[in-house]
A and B are shown apart, each in its own frame.
Chain A
């Protein structure tokens, strides 16, 4: 690690990576990653394509398992946490919208089988969608609307943390703006967000903290105002 050293100790970090390595089919995607994600605000993971940003994110809800080292969530080794419980505490929105068949309500029911209409409407509102969306077929929505449904679906599980994997790369400017505004609002309300982006302007807009990943290693980790030199490079 270069500037800033650790933002916080491992014990009060949201996520801590300890000598984390990830290899697939003989290719090293992450090499000896060491660093922490603070337990507040929005942390963006930036870096060139293929730097391992998405892989680092996927380690946080155990869609990937490290081939070396330890990933900790609020000081617990993720390897020892029940995956289903972890994933309901650590929600994720993917790069491509993934609406399931059926209506928007059906989508929310996958996330929360007991969800009431009141809670479903509240989840939609937090994703800047009106209640009329509940009965619309999810697969006929625009990419931006579908992505907001995916956010609402994730929020229906009431996660403590939100992982965002380049969620705005395939959506219209209005949806991008809405997603950014909602995410920063969530972070202010106490749900920390880990957001992967290759768009440095977006990182400037949403980030409180920045983690720069290059070729599978952490180059910088610190507050957004100290990350300018790395943004300029990109």
Chain B
């Protein structure tokens, strides 16, 4: 394989870390320790993942191990979202459900319709790409829904007061939040190949695949990501907005706050 650099190759590439350290020292950035820490931490993390993947992807193992790996990634992704969007109520179970739904839809299409052969070597990287790309959008959309409904509280209540259900009253604000979360993903999809060569394709080319083969995989991966982002953001946005209302179609003051302009007058 063209990309097999061996341990010696890896050691030589450390020279580039030394370059970064030297630059930091020369310009007195005080970042030497951080650079060294980041570089060694990344190496340890990747080695650990590599060893674990080696075990899981061993031809003798059942696919169950790979699915278990995917489940663990799902739980970790949901934990990251909970940590990054702490202010959003019930975000952990919601993002877990959203990632689950996205995995079901996107992996279902890719494997169910035979785009990729179902195997640990395809399942784990594809699930990882899907989750990694959906996390940021999930965090963004959950915060946006919360902010939109808080900021536009008087408008939402005016809609409720006209007899709209909470679903109807929330619709324009959900739409705004979903557009905000999806547009960057659409822009990235548009610019792909023009600015940066995306990861999966780069990896395949480095590993010796023909560029056109690599492009086909990359395109499928991009559509996977687009579908997954759309699914996760929709599930999370609807879930968060439902939580903001009570069963009798009122905004839940515990989530939107208690101070009301009318009472300050």
Contacts and interface: CB of A to CB of B under 8 A. Distances in A.
Interface of A: 24-25, 27, 49-50, 53-55, 61-65, 83-85, 87-88, 91-92, 94-96, 98, 100-101, 110-111, 150, 153-154, 157, 165-166, 169, 196, 198
A53 B253 CA distance: 17
B161 A61 contact: yes
Contact of A64 (B249, B250, B254, B261): B250
B265 interface: yes
A157 B162 contact: yes
The interface size bin for chain B is 20 to 34
A98 B159 CA distance: 9
Given A94-B262, A95-B262, 10 more contacts: A54-B263, A61-B161, A64-B250, A65-B248, A83-B248, A87-B161, A94-B157, A110-B162, A157-B163, A196-B262
14 contacts: A24-B258, A54-B262, A62-B248, A63-B157, A64-B250, A83-B249, A87-B162, A88-B163, A92-B158, A92-B161, A95-B265, A98-B155, A111-B162, A157-B163
Interface string B126-161: 000000000000000000000000000011011111
B164 interface: yes
Contacts of B163: 84-85, 87-88, 157
Contacts of A166: 262, 265
Contact of A98 (B154, B172, B250): B154
Contacts of A88: 162-163
Contacts of B160: 63, 87
B33 interface: no
Contacts of B265: 49, 95, 166, 169, 198
Contact of B262 (A83, A154, A165): A165
A95 B261 contact: yes
A102 B172 CA distance: 12
B260 to A, nearest CB: 6
B264 interface: yes
A110 B169 CA distance: 10
B250 A100 contact: no
B198 to A, nearest CB: 37
Given A63-B160, A84-B165, A94-B158, A101 B172 contact: yes
Which residue of B162, B248, B250, B258 has the most chain A CB atoms within 10 A of its CB atom? B162
A117 B161 CA distance: 23
Given A83-B249, A98-B155, A101-B172, A55 B161 contact: no
A85 B254 CA distance: 25
Contacts of A150: 158
Contacts of B157: 63, 94, 98
Nearest to B250: A63
Nearest to A89: B163
Contacts of A154: 161-162
Contacts of A101: 172
Contact of A100 (B155, B248, B264): B155
Interface string B238-264: 000000001011100110001011111
Contact of A25 (B159, B172, B258): B258
Contact of B154 (A27, A96, A111): A96
Nearest to B153: A98
A91 B249 CA distance: 15
A55 B250 contact: no
Nearest to A169: B265
A64 B248 CA distance: 10
A84 B164 contact: yes
A150 B165 CA distance: 19
A225 to B, nearest CB: 26
Contacts of A24: 253, 258
A87 B166 CA distance: 13
